[in-house]
Structure 1
């Protein structure tokens, strides 16, 4: 790109993030969104590793003794690790796995909460060129079984309490090795996590030299039908997140001494890229603490650990915003910026964040397949409450009509990202046809509908399929329906999302019983608990309605669209 700024013609993230000083070098004292988009560029790079280019990079430099990870669980204990600690311990685990024959392309499953177990599983897998498959600790036994059968891991890293939940369900899958923290029953193939970390790495251990395109991360997310689907990402994925995270964290990432945290699982993008790996890339302290959310606990945790930047779902922020004068009750809160995504945030909550916490709340939008496409950075451009924000630098976004042709501003269509997007996935795990289905020419189809206004802000309108977005989660109805039908009282079930002020959408189940006389509040509770234990806590239907029949499509299928229409009419 040619201009009169000489060697500073492009802002890049080659070893750096978007920071205000660098931006001013390029664009002058008053940088704008337009200037940023004009000069931004991610230079090509052949090799990258999400462990050696984050933790090890800092462990080998002036940040070696700096705090990298603080583990705080249920206030039972607090353990702090430096960058040097994480580098050495992950070498130990990586070397151990390598000796066991685990290597490039093998899958290492991780079923753990926030903490050292998850950190080590990620870092060790990346170092040997393996693929880490993180599983949400919210998953029930059947969901875990499905994922493990689907990805066929050589090893699983987990915690004793979680292992006890799934052990009998997965015992026939044939996982070669389970590494379990606080393991109470050590056997040949069921080893203790801490004991393995204490085994020094081989003297000749060297981390794999991985290409930016080598597979590295297998994320599972709900689809519109069936159980969670695997989405495979590459080693170079982190490079595509650095600029957007820098922006929704208000370009503070180049300043030393930041502390990052999220209430979200480290099995999803929010935990892995909005906090963990990005924090370590920039040499900051990542705080691990995933107790059950309550406003008072969250404010106390933010104060206790002097959290400077965090990701919180819109649902969590709405709950927090109900608290009057949080700084009066927790004066040590040190928040500088909050990132959020998953559903639109009310203007009142945006205003509350700035007024009560002194921290801007920047929304962003994307999919697990291709992420951080659109968003905000209040330091550079004004926020329009209700919009998703503007296209982030490095991402080319358009809106397409039914013929896959770009539409004019103001016209609703399907939001699409270009095929060269820096956060684009490799494929749906072992599902080539599904991968091809979201590709059209130069575009990746998101399945989400909206429009772009004349100022370049995008506005979300809805989704083409039946996915439910509730409290920041993307939930497929079919797996909940399957769980409900597995209950002996249920003949048929249909699940939709209904408007909910706190969650964006709440899960509602329409249920037909084999014996309609058995319908009762007690059975509602029983069905809700059945889904919690079969799938995951966040997937249970908060509303259950017993029905005798369902609206059907012309092909005899339950018409969820009609159910949604009826519910929306009642809501309106």
Structure 2
């Protein structure tokens, strides 16, 4: 079903009017009992307002160096912010509100207030500049913004070029008389959740742009709560006594799920530190606050491993890796350091979070996992026909959540014949496990052979000299493409011809010899998104620019 069956509360129809046509929508599957949600619901009412009835009211929810808010205390703060938005600014359901800030208690409260009021949250990465913010404002037309006081400059500059953004209120500015906290302090804290339809819009989750121009997947109240009943319920299995930490931004759905929505679903708490994370700092924080669940990207876990060996992490019970492919070398390094089997998963902004995963005894070495309960997935050829098990093809999936881009011709690329196509190449084995090969545009075809860039990266990371690496296909007159690696070396290593040969020989001995990198370039840093994803397209652009100028 793709139609709203309860009356929509969102009188501003801007987003609703720009959803894909019915023929371009995926099939939404609600064929498990836990996915039978009512047609009228507000996700913040379900997760926050109903917490006392579930026994969570006095339990801690949001922790920071400044103190702790229980579920009931957070609900009052959320209500006050919602009152500011609706009473002071006169916002109505369906209006978009841009959110700008790093991870903090204030950012979390602001997001919850926006969604509770029936408004649509447009959270943005804190490192974005005025031009990038302007692109998001142009696409989503927010009428108001809640912004961390330390990040105002770029947003104000964007506002000057986009006057549709009428109001900006700063948070994390306790001494400013017109700050969000000052305005909220004058409110009663009594606010009834907007009676949104389940299929009313909760957020626009602009992608972090690993492939360039960002898109805006649309996520409903039903989508978020349905996702709570899939991976968190069946695989993560968080508990009320869990303390969650991690590095993904709340503006990224991996962070929004892992560091806010999913802990609330379990009655757990989240700790937001004041300082930015470093690998050693995150390990120390885990020990200081007794964290039991950690979310971060594979690169960060790799960098954390030596500090775990040094400091230990006895309270940690679940370490979730997502955002990019998890190399087996990193999984084994982390297991050696902690004794924990990494909880890997692949997901996407288009479906909010993880849809293929495995935990504990279900983990199979080299595999991401199986389709999470609630989803079905298959590996298909270019025509959409399922390929034999053991054969490389494109991933296609269906579940309770699927892609709906806001006013974007790329919808037809992502959804075909009712199936979501995330753009990843996989192999599925006879037991249903999915083995990641590459993003579609990261598959290298060299002399007729298919080579997945991440597989070569995994082999290189097993060499003691390599700290990080990225692998791409470089155009070649004889072979069509050759495999080229960009490597960041560990301190004390020298990138010379001898090491090039040593790394090439190492790859030949680790995986099929034809997959070895014929070119290796040593670099000091690799291009990554703010969420830690390797931007291989930028490495390809570098090569293209060189070939153009040579």
C-alpha separation between the residues in 2 aligned to 1:361 and 1:547?
34
1:393 paired with 2:373, answer yes
Does the 8 A contact of 2:395 with 2:421 survive in 1? yes
Describe the SS at the equivalent of 2:183: helix
Aligned length: 450
C-alpha separation between the residues in 2 aligned to 1:337 and 1:117?
26
C-alpha separation between the residues in 1 aligned to 2:115 and 2:174?
28
Provide the residue aligned with 1:110 in structure 2.
99
CA deviation digits over 1:494-547, x for unaligned, max 9? xxx99574556389999xxxxxxxxxxxxxxxxx99x99x99998899979988
Provide the residue aligned with 1:178 in structure 2.
168
TM-score (norm 2): 0.73
C-alpha separation between the residues in 1 aligned to 2:211 and 2:337?
42
Provide the residue aligned with 1:86 in structure 2.
74
CA deviation digits over 1:524-572, x for unaligned, max 9? xxxx99x99x9999889997998896558xxxxx9xxxx9xxxxxxxxx
Residue correspondence of structure 1 range 493-508 to structure 2 within 5 A: 499=457, 501=461, 505=470
Does the 8 A contact of 2:306 with 2:337 survive in 1? no
Provide the residue aligned with 1:376 in structure 2.
358
C-alpha separation between the residues in 1 aligned to 2:415 and 2:543?
39
Identify the match of residue 231 of structure 1 among 217, 239, 243: 217
Describe the SS at the equivalent of 2:271: strand
Provide the residue aligned with 2:385 in structure 1.
405
1:195 paired with 2:182, answer yes
Cα 1:246–1:360 change in 2 (3 A) is: farther
C-alpha separation between the residues in 1 aligned to 2:543 and 2:394?
34
Cα 1:352–1:546 change in 2 (3 A) is: closer
Provide the residue aligned with 1:19 in structure 2.
none
C-alpha separation between the residues in 2 aligned to 1:462 and 1:137?
28
Does the 8 A contact of 1:248 with 1:338 survive in 2? no
Residue correspondence of structure 1 range 125-140 to structure 2 within 5 A: 125-140=114-129
Greater displacement, 342-351 / 497-506 = 497-506
Provide the residue aligned with 1:444 in structure 2.
420
Cα 1:103–1:313 change in 2 (3 A) is: same
Provide the residue aligned with 2:251 in structure 1.
267
CA deviation digits over 1:306-349, x for unaligned, max 9? 111121211111111234624xx246x40111111233434444
What's the offset of the Cα at 1:285? 1.0
Does the 8 A contact of 1:89 with 1:120 survive in 2? yes
C-alpha separation between the residues in 1 aligned to 2:75 and 2:545?
59
C-alpha separation between the residues in 1 aligned to 2:535 and 2:418?
38
What's the offset of the Cα at 1:48? 2.6
C-alpha separation between the residues in 2 aligned to 1:233 and 1:51?
14
Does the 8 A contact of 2:206 with 2:214 survive in 1? yes
Provide the residue aligned with 1:566 in structure 2.
none
C-alpha separation between the residues in 2 aligned to 1:353 and 1:535?
23
C-alpha separation between the residues in 2 aligned to 1:262 and 1:549?
37
What's the offset of the Cα at 1:134? 0.6
What's the offset of the Cα at 1:139? 1.8
C-alpha separation between the residues in 2 aligned to 1:462 and 1:290?
36
1:422 paired with 2:400, answer yes
Cα 1:457–1:197 change in 2 (3 A) is: same
C-alpha separation between the residues in 1 aligned to 2:474 and 2:182?
46
Cα 1:246–1:61 change in 2 (3 A) is: closer
Provide the residue aligned with 2:270 in structure 1.
286
Cα 1:226–1:209 change in 2 (3 A) is: same
Describe the SS at the equivalent of 1:369: helix
Does the 8 A contact of 1:346 with 1:385 survive in 2? no
What's the offset of the Cα at 1:292? 3.3
C-alpha separation between the residues in 1 aligned to 2:207 and 2:300?
20
CA deviation digits over 1:73-130, x for unaligned, max 9? xxxxx22111111101111111221122212111111101111222122111111111
TM-score (norm 1): 0.70
C-alpha separation between the residues in 1 aligned to 2:158 and 2:429?
51
Provide the residue aligned with 2:513 in structure 1.
none
CA deviation digits over 1:22-63, x for unaligned, max 9? xxxxxxxxxxxxxxxx98752243233221111111145532
Does the 8 A contact of 1:508 with 1:543 survive in 2? no
Does the 8 A contact of 1:140 with 1:536 survive in 2? no
Cα 1:454–1:215 change in 2 (3 A) is: same
CA deviation digits over 1:405-432, x for unaligned, max 9? 11111111110012xx12324x21222x
Describe the SS at the equivalent of 1:451: strand
What's the offset of the Cα at 1:447? 1.4
Provide the residue aligned with 1:20 in structure 2.
none
Provide the residue aligned with 2:47 in structure 1.
54
Identify the match of residue 231 of structure 2 among 219, 238, 244: 244
Cα 1:441–1:108 change in 2 (3 A) is: same
Provide the residue aligned with 2:61 in structure 1.
68
Q: CA RMSD in A?
A: 3.7
Identify the match of residue 308 of structure 1 among 279, 288, 292: 292
C-alpha separation between the residues in 2 aligned to 1:352 and 1:263?
20
1:155 paired with 2:144, answer yes
What's the offset of the Cα at 1:228? 1.9
Identify the match of residue 366 of structure 1 among 344, 347, 369: 347
Provide the residue aligned with 1:522 in structure 2.
none
Describe the SS at the equivalent of 2:400: coil
Q: Which runs of 5+ in 1 are unaligned?
A: 1-37, 73-77, 469-496, 511-527, 553-557, 564-572
Does the 8 A contact of 1:238 with 1:278 survive in 2? no
Describe the SS at the equivalent of 1:122: helix
Does the 8 A contact of 1:247 with 1:377 survive in 2? no
C-alpha separation between the residues in 1 aligned to 2:341 and 2:210?
34
What's the offset of the Cα at 1:467? 11
C-alpha separation between the residues in 1 aligned to 2:106 and 2:76?
14
